[in-house]
Every structure is written in structure tokens, then in C-alpha cells.
Amino acid sequence: MIGPAFKAVAERYAKDETALKTLSEKVVKGSGGNWGPTPMPPQASVSSEDAETLVKWILSQQ
Ligand code: HEM
């Protein structure tokens, strides 16, 4: 198991109105240092539209 639980992500960003945009960019470009030492690799084959759809779904996990 690598990366934070989607529910934990949804809880952390519940009140963050910029989360959809910032997290979608992180899914495409990669991310690190927010949950622990392991970075998330870039998902270059995911379009920004698809990333937004995925992040909307992740943020709906309460
Ligand atoms: C399209 C597929 C994926 C989606 C939609 C996704 C989504 C996310 C989101 C929303 C976060 C939270 C970022 C933050 O709070 O700044 C995250 C973090 C993370 N993900 Fe992913 N992820 C994907 C694929 C992967 C893959 C393939 C891996 C590992 C091989 C991975 C490993 C991680 C790790 C280690 C973190 C924590 C990074 C940090 O500390 O900033 N993810 N992911």
C-alpha cells in the first residue's frame, strides 16, 4: 500500500476551495513531502481533465 487513503485526502482538503485545482496538478506532475517521505510519481498519461474527474471523486470520499 503506497500513498494516503483517499478518505484521509478528502478529510484534509474538505475546506480547501483550491484543492481541486492543486491536487489535479499534483496527480499529473507528481507530488512529495505532504504525507510522508515517499513521493508520488508523475502520471503523464492522465490528462488534466481526467485528473480533475479523479480528484473530484477522491474528495467525495467522506
Ligand atoms: C491516477 C492515479 C493517481 C491519483 C488520482 C492519485 C491521487 C493522489 C492524491 C490526490 C494525493 C494527495 C496529494 C497531496 O495531498 O498533496 C496523492 C498522494 C500520493 N500518492 Fe497518488 N495518485 C495516483 C497514483 C499514484 C501512484 C501510481 C503512486 C505510487 C506508485 C502514488 C503514490 C502517492 C504517494 C506516495 C502520495 C503522497 C505524496 C506526498 O507526500 O505528497 N499515487 N495521490
Cell numbers linked to 25:
496538478
Beta-bridged to residue 40, according to DSSP, are 31
Q: Is 20 in the pocket of ligand 1 (CB under 6 A)?
A: no
Q: What is the CA(32)–ligand 1 centre distance, in A? A: 9
Q: Is 19 in the pocket of ligand 1 (CB under 6 A)?
A: no
List, for residues 7-31, the tens digit of each pLDDT value: 999 999 999 999 999 999 999 999 9
Whose Cα sits closest to atom 8 in ligand 1?
27
Give the CATH number of domain 7-33+40-59. Answer: 1.10.760.10
Predicted pLDDT at 32: 97
Checking if the pLDDT of 1 tops 90, the result is no
d(C-alpha 60, C-alpha 47), whole Å: 20
With a pLDDT cut of 70, the percent of the chain lying above it is 100
Q: Is 43 in the pocket of ligand 1 (CB under 6 A)?
A: yes
